[in-house]
Amino acid sequence: MSKFNFIATKIKDVYIVESTVFGDSRGYFMETYNELEFKAAGLNYTFVQDNQSASTKGVLRGLHFQKTHPQAKLVRVLQGEVFDVAVDLRKNSDTYGQWVGETLSGENKKQLMIPRGFAHGFVVISDYAEFAYKCDEFYHPEDEGGIIWDDKDIAINWPLAEGIKLSEKDKKNPCFKDYKIEF
C-alpha cells in the first residue's frame, strides 16, 4: 500500500502529493518523501538540498528559477497557509507560459512536486507560515532569475490582491515576455 497519492495537475509533470497521515490522541506521523515510492510513481529525483523559510501574511516570494542550473522542488508548508505557484518555462511544452497553483497548509499537509524548467513562487495567506522544500540541484546565487509576480501575460490569480510584501530584488524582476527564459 502506497503512503502517497500523486495527483496530476493541468500542467504535465507537476503533481500534488498527498501523504497518508497516521494519527491518534498523541498527534500524527507521516512520511513526506520516500525515494522508492516517488520513483515507482515516475518521479525520479535525487534531492541534494533542503530549505526552509518563515514569512508573515502578504509576503510573496517569487517567481524564482535558476537559469543554467534548474531545480526540481518538492514544496510543503509546516505551519500556516500559502498559495503556491509553478510557471512552465519549458520551451517545447504545450503549457509554456502557463501556471498552476495550489493552497498548501500545515493543516492539509499537501505538497507540490515541481520539475526542472519552472519558475516558482508563493504568497502567505495566513498570519504566519513556515515553508520547506527539497531541491535536486544546489542553489547558485549567480544563476538566479525571476519574473515579476503580477506579470500580465502569465496572469496568476493570486488570492491576495492587496498588501503584497516583496523583497527589493523581487520588485525588480522583469516581465515574462522580456525575459524569454526557455528550458
Exactly one of 15, 33, 45, 133 is catalytic; which is it?
133
Give the active site residue among 64, 128, 140, 179.
64
**Whole-angstrom Cα distance, residue 162 to residue 73?**
28
The span from the CA of 61 to the CA of 130, in Å, is 13
- Rounded to whole angstroms, what are the CA distances from 143 to 66, 70, 97, 127, 153? 5, 9, 20, 32, 24
**Chain-centre distance for alpha carbon 95:** 17
Segment holding 71, helix H or strand E: none
- 3-state secondary structure (DSSP) of residue 39: helix
Any catalytic annotation for residue 133? Answer: yes
Q: What three-state secondary structure class fits 52? A: strand
Q: Confirm whether 64 is a catalytic residue.
A: yes
Cβ-based burial of 150 (10 A; exposed 0-12, middle 13-18, buried ≥19) = middle
Active-site positions read 64, 133
